[in-house]
Structure 1
Amino acid sequence: MLNCNPFINISSKLLCKVSIFSLLLLTTTANAAFEPSTVDTQVNTADIIPQIESVKPSPDVGSYQTQTRKGVLLPGEVPVSELLPPSGEDNPPPYGANLFAGGYESERVDGLNDNYLIAAGDKINIWIWGAVSYADLATVDNQGNIFIPEIGPINVLNVPASDVNKLVSLKIKEIYTNNVEVYVNLLSATPVSVYLSGAIIRPGQYAGMASDSILYFLKRAGGIDSDRGSYRSIQVIRNNKVVQDIDLYSFIKTGQLPTITFKDKDVILVKPQKSAVNVSGGVKNPFRFELLNKQTSGAELAQYALPLTKVSHVGVYGNRPSGPFSVYLAYEDFLKFEIQDGDSLVFNDDSHAQVIDVQVSGSYLGPSYFAVKKSTRLHDLLNYIPINPELTDYKSIYILRKSVVERQKQILNDSLDRLERSVFTAPAASDGEASIRTQEAALVMQFVEKARKVQPLGKVIVSDQGVTANILLEKGDQIVIPHYTDLINIGGEVLFPQAVVFNPDAKIDDYVAWAGGFTERAEDERISIVRANGQVIFDSNAKIQRGDQILVLPKADTKIIQAIKDITQIIYQIAVAANVAIN
């Protein structure tokens, strides 16, 4: 038996006049509010919303602490196995791979800068005037010296170019103490030839300046091989001895890069990649990270991966000597966990918020957004929303809910899909009938295209005759408290859609007449009335109330379109879901 009484105190006289067809259409809105699991009590709205002077601060409205769980999945929660990348998916790029993305290897430098360190083979101009005159172009020998007659050798190896004039001048003036002026200048820097070997893209011999950085030479060789090369162990070898061991992670994180003056026949050796782990999920750096040792703590890795603040859990999976391994840890426990070579990590936001945001619109005073507990019901929030009773229709509250919008849109799309199938699969017994079906299909497609653009409102009807259902609020709900109005809006298939002042003695036909009367396409026998509380009824004899919207729907021509029943149903669905009428 059909239940026409969703409210405890509502009169059955009004709702039972609504046709069975319209009640089925209202399922997407009204039923969302009146499910047994969401309605526990109904009280008079006048008892819920206080006067302005009675408003008190709410202990239940604001920010609340979230609860944390350690490795326990709640019912319906996604297990870590579903967060893992598909089997066979390529490894993420190594941390630091973008170091070699630029084109700086094509930038030419001559080494003539203040920070350049003098190396063997460099040429230095020397001018002496005054008591002694001398001018020469000296070459730095293999021992790092330049030779000046009467002065002797002066060692300038690894002296910055900005200091060479001061150093040579002091040495000369130790011999010529009076009336001697000296000017020394680095004329040219000597190129060096450096070998690159190991796990790089193009090993071989490359020319550069002695002051060039190790990044320059690595880039000239195509960069480090992503699958084989190490970013944490790059050696500079001179005369078969390691003179520098470089960890590029230090440069990436802090910008610190050792200063090296290269010499001819130096070797840059990229060592094989060390132990590595793959990182994905909620991190700023989703890369493959090398470990200095075969295992490290989660805290050390987190310093490079930089998890997002919302991360609450970390899934770790891989292989251990005992076989496949997988664990799902709270982030605090992960920081102490030992990860090993070959592990893959998924950083996940698995905390369920205990606070939701709710918006209020319409006629009210105070803030429009509230952060409330997840278990908050409508009455709990209404108790702390001040209003002006003379301007507010507080007996017609309704809710706009995102989940209902999605449900209504899906129902509408399903109906349109069925309509399309029925039109395109309709049989034709003759060529004339086939021609008619073709024209009919074109008309239907125009209607479907327009109907798919309609956006449902997602209304949840919670009030009627001053009684409001105490439903559980959802994240993103918009509580609408209508303004008190004396206007009646008439729209749809009327000649002059407009707003008319409410007249208690007027009927629907009177309001339609004031709007210019029906159009030729109007369905004058079934007119929808949208109440201020969001409820939609189809009853031409219903009494008009303040704030109502009269919506005259179009009718489809039964002589032209065979699928008139389906189209009429969709027209009514759109009227209920979006409060609009389309042709």
Structure 2
Amino acid sequence: MQQRLIKAFSIFLISTGLPFIPASANAAGITTDQLEQLGKMLPNDRKQLLESVGATPSAEKNVPPFPTLVLPEGEYQQVDDLDQEIEERLERGDTVIVTVEEIDDEQLKRYLESQQEDSRDARVPEREAPRYKQQLQEEEQSRLEKIFEKRESKQLPYMGRNLYRVDDQGSIRMPIIGQVGMAGLNESQAAVRLGAEPLLKDYYIKVERLPVEKSGKEALKPYGYDLFEGVPTTFAPATDVPVPHDYVIGPGDVIQLQLFGKENEEYELAVKRNGTVAIPKIGPVSVAGLGFEQLEKKIHRMIKKQFIGVRANVTMGELRSIRIFVLGEVNKPGSYTVSALSTLTNALFFSGGVREIGSLRNIELKRGGKIVSKLDLYDFLMRGDTSGDIRLFQGDVIFVPTVVATASIDGEVRRPAVYELKGQQSLGELVAMAGGLKADADRSAIQLERVGGGGNKSLTDLDMMSEVTASYALQQGDRVTIFPVSKPMEQVVKLSGYAYRTGSYQWREGMRLVDLIPSTDLLRQQADLDYVLIGREEGIDRRLKIISTTLRDALNSPESDANVLLKPQDEIVILSLANDGSRQKMVLPYLERVEQRAWSDQSVSWVEINGAVRGAGRYPFEAGMRVNDAIRAAGKLNEKAYRLSAEITRVIRSDDGINRVVHLTVNLQEALSGVTAKNLELHPFDTIHFREIPEWSRTRMVNVQGEVRFPGEYKIIAGEKLSSLIKRIGGLTESAYPKAVVFLREELREREQQELNRLATQLESDIASSALSDNNARGGNDVEIAKQLAEQLRSTKAVGRLVINVPRLLIDMEEGRASEFDVVLKNGDRIFVPEQMQEVSIMGEVFHPSTLLFRNNKNRDDYIDASGGVTPKADDEHIYIVKADGSVSLGRNSWFEVTSEASIEPGDTIVVPLDVERIRTLTLWVEVSKILAQIGVAAASWHNIGIF
């Protein structure tokens, strides 16, 4: 038990990647680094581990404040040879699932707190304990904050369960982290290794190895052993099967005898140990050693001789059991009691099947110390031949020897596997055992790997077309690989891209492009007829060359050069005119193939086309390529293209090794005129930029609603004014109220919102200053009111209204002169023209805020009196009027004279503000209250006329 505890704890230490020191070698039991790793475990996990190994804390001085463990005494046992029985080590090609999960916040806090508690130790001097404890708390708090910040930043793209494969270098590749070595580690060690990464150290990590079958020669399984998979643990005796005629009668069998005729009787007669059976009225009869058919004849003769007018029917009742032995390379060797009808294969199933090191082709049946039969299970598995599956007798011994010789075959055969050789067998026989060759097997490309007598490996190339190869003798350990046919179909051309029937087509001598594509009915919509790519292999090194042509010209003029003469293995690519990036995705693979097959001293030539074209990107450069060819390659210019000029950026390589970059301006009208001399010739690696029409991509929209002839959204041009828009919308209707037109602009709203936020911040600062300086009851009440005002200011949303004088603009338009009241429109402007208005609103510090019907003979005070008059908190000296057009009037006839006779018009709003001068510490109150009142007035009035 003590050794098991030491082994368990040593396995934990090895999984952490730290050296293990046995208790007998170190009084402290384990090292400081090991204790530090143990201290990082969760408390419950640490406690469970300590209890499992029987370790106890120790108080030794002059060591870091972590619990010291003392292992039980005893000799240390190496655990390297135990890794396999604990956890399998990861290998190259293994598939693993890495789980990365966050630790619950509360659990994490408890864990860090427990670390602080566990870190306090009697070894710390008493006078330093408070300072040490505070230091630990600060460190753990800082660490906790960093963990939470990392979670909030979401910088781990591999949270959760992720699938990885251990590559040929023995590593897995994780996002951000990169390659992490895994080969040679078990699952626990792999999890600890990942936990050492800085980004993963504060997370729960689990590594699971999936039992995925690996590909390649190592994945080949020995043939035939899966026959015994899923073998039942018990077998029911065969009691209801017909007894064969050659069944040999022996002691323990029961014979059922039925007499009918003159006498009708039934008897069950047991065969006794001396081999006799007692038949009534006849006596003992010897039957042991007789076959069942012989037994029937003998009893029939005796009944016929002894009884007159009586006939007999003989059948077998319960059959005897026999004891046999199954030995050798079976899963459960031993002695078995089976039915007398059992055969060799039944006995193999009873014993759990043959082990993979056991022979399937040389199973021996021994009787009386001599081999009486040999069973080859390949006859049963491959041909269904059961002739060798003979019946067993009492005391038979079935022996499964170890397999002597095997050979494996892989590749293009129907049943790749490892096969057992029986005697001297040939390559042809091995192929036959594997089910024969597949249709695409290359009979001339067969390789045989063999280990020679001196331990050296050899490789032999064979050709199955030769009769000598078929009779090639195999040896133990031979590995045969049948390769597929590597040569592509030669007399074919391939069609890909935007065609309905892509794939390979038969090539014929003299075949041209229109023979492959006789009409556009074979092409999909948006197929490009003006730029068709043809990939062609040339030379013995099969370099790829790309040429282009126009299918449109080939169809219209089959005798022209556009109707390209095709060669075997040509690939014809139909590109798309769709502006979805598919065009470039189809071209780039061919450029990459050209680069891969280019000579070492040959550069891959291309031109780059960008800007206002349908398919921007890189395209193959062809000798004599000009600007119009580049336009054709990129799928033509799009609707945004500026068709007067374009720009070419060219790198000029000089002999002195210094490259210069030049920019050339192209006259597109000349280039597209059809005159070759004016169509600039391109150089390899040129970059052509086709400009967009100025202001094309800037879409400016204005929304007009309300009492206009044609409301809706209108697209405007740069610098367009309101007067132009009024003409385009058909003018205002007869019921429109021009004085109350609402004009909203987004950039004004943003500036107003910034100002509101600034005022709110300043007001909150004033509130704080007032709270510190004024401690009386009234001052505290004022501060509370100010706080409510600040909260209201924070929640207020700016609207961005621009005050405009539409009536004056209409008059100027009617008289045909430029107006100073005309507004330059901007993108996103919203204009609302309300109906004729007949109401006047009174808001603020009046007893009954209301909306009243407009009357020509009433002034400002008349409307206030009609609303109940002002309240005691009103500031009656600063009453102002918000006009229907958004402007504010203070009700003055002159700069110094305030009057109640101010002009009131329909749609106006009279605002009676709150008297805020009584709290002088908050200097912004007057300004803030007016802003809030104006915004509130605007929101209320616009809601009434249907804007909001």
Structure 1 length as normaliser, TM-score?
0.52
Aligned residues: 364
Distance in 1 (CA, whole Å) between partners of 2:402 and 2:488 is 45
Identity percentage over the alignment? 16
Q: Secondary structure at the match of 1:338?
A: coil
Q: How does 1:71-470 map to 2 (within 5 A)?
A: 92-104=220-232, 106-116=234-244, 117=247, 119-120=249-250, 121-132=252-263, 135-141=266-272, 146-149=277-280, 150=282, 153=285, 155=287, 159=291, 167=297, 170-176=300-306, 178-227=308-357, 229-257=358-386, 258-293=388-423, 295-306=424-435, 307-312=437-442, 313-321=445-453, 323-333=456-466, 334-355=469-490, 356=492, 358-359=494-495, 370-372=504-506, 380-382=511-513, 384-385=515-516, 387=518, 396=530, 398-399=532-533, 461-463=548-550, 466=553, 468=562
Query: What is the deviation of 1:243?
Result: 2.0
Whole-angstrom CA distance in 2 between matches of 1:533 and 1:145 = 106
Asked if the contact 2:613–2:631 (Cα under 8 Å) also holds between the matched residues in 1, the reply is no
Task: Tell me, in whole angstroms, the C-alpha distance in 1 between the residues paired with 2:697 and 2:259.
Answer: 107
CA offsets 1:20-52 (integer angstroms, 9 cap, x no match): xxxxxxxxxxxxxxxxxxxxxxxxxxxxxxxxx
Distance in 2, matches of 1:204 and 1:249, equals 24
Deviations 1:210-255 (A, max 9, x none): 222322221222221212x111111111111222211111111111
Q: What SS does structure 2 have at the residue aligned with 1:296?
A: coil
Rounded to whole Å, the distance in 1 between the matches of 2:326 and 2:279 is 37
Structure 2: give runs of 5+ residues left out of the alignment.
Answer: 1-214, 538-545, 554-560, 581-609, 616-629, 644-667, 674-689, 699-948
Change (3 A) 1:465 1:362: closer
Q: State the Cα deviation string for residues 386-411 of structure 1 (Å, max 9, x = none).
A: 735899999636259899xxxxxxxx
Q: Structure 2 vs 1, CA of residues 344 and 338 (structure 1 numbering), >3 Å: closer, same or farther?
A: same
* Residues 282/388 of structure 1: CA separation in 2 closer, same or farther (3 Å cut): closer
Q: Is 1:535 matched with 2:647?
A: no
Letter in structure 2 aligned against 1:314: I
Whether contact under 8 Å (1:139, 1:146) holds in the other structure is yes
In 2, distance between residues paired with 1:304 and 1:282? 13
On the 8 A contact 1:490/1:551 being kept in 2, the answer is: no
Distance 1:360 1:139, change over 3 A: same
SS of the residue aligned with 1:340? coil
Q: Cα 1:105–1:169, aligned 2, differ >3 Å: closer, same or farther? A: farther
Aligned to 2:852: none
Measured against aligned partners, the alpha-carbon deviations of 1:481-505 in whole angstroms (never above 9, x if no partner) come to 99xxxxxx8978xxxxxxxxxxxxx
Q: Is the 8 A contact 2:276 2:284 kept in 1?
A: no
Secondary structure at 1:250 match in 2: helix
In 2, Cα distance between equivalents of 1:336 and 1:200: 33
Distance 1:225 1:385 in 2: 60
**Counterpart AA for 2:532:** Y
Q: Structure 2 length as normaliser, TM-score?
A: 0.33
What's the counterpart of residue 16 of structure 1?
Answer: none
Q: Give secondary structure in 1 for the equivalent of 2:346.
A: helix
CA distance in 2 between partners of 1:91 and 1:391 (Å): 46
Q: Which amino acid aligns with 1:329?
A: L
2:349 maps to amino acid:
K
Q: What is the rounded CA distance, in whole Å, between the counterparts of 1:145 and 1:282 in structure 2? A: 62
Q: Displacement of 1:159 after TM fit? A: 4.4
Cα pair 2:532 2:551 within 8 Å, conserved: no
Summarize the Cα distance change of 1:361–1:140 in structure 2 as closer, same or farther, 3 Å threshold: same
CA contact (8 A) 1:112 1:186 kept: no
Whether the 8 Å contact between 1:463 and 1:533 is mirrored in structure 2 is no
Residue identity opposite 2:431 in structure 1: A
Distance 1:179 1:319, change over 3 A: same
Give the superposition deviation at 1:276.
Answer: 1.4
Distance, in Å, in 2 between the alignment partners of 1:91 and 1:389 is: 50
2:770 — aligned with what?
none
Contact 1:232–1:249 (8 Å) recurs in 2: yes
Q: How many angstroms apart in 2 are the aligned matches of 1:349 and 1:184?
A: 63
Alpha-carbon distance change, 383 to 215 in structure 1, aligned in 2, over 3 angstroms: same
Letter in 1 for 2:550: S
Shift of residue 370, structure 1, vs aligned partner: 4.6
- Residue 613 of structure 2 aligns with an amino acid whose one-letter code is S
Structure 1 residues 125 and 383, CA gap change in structure 2 (3 angstroms) = same
Q: 1 or 2, which has the higher helix percentage?
A: 2
- RCO greater where, 1 or 2, for CA within 8 Å and sep 6 or more? 1
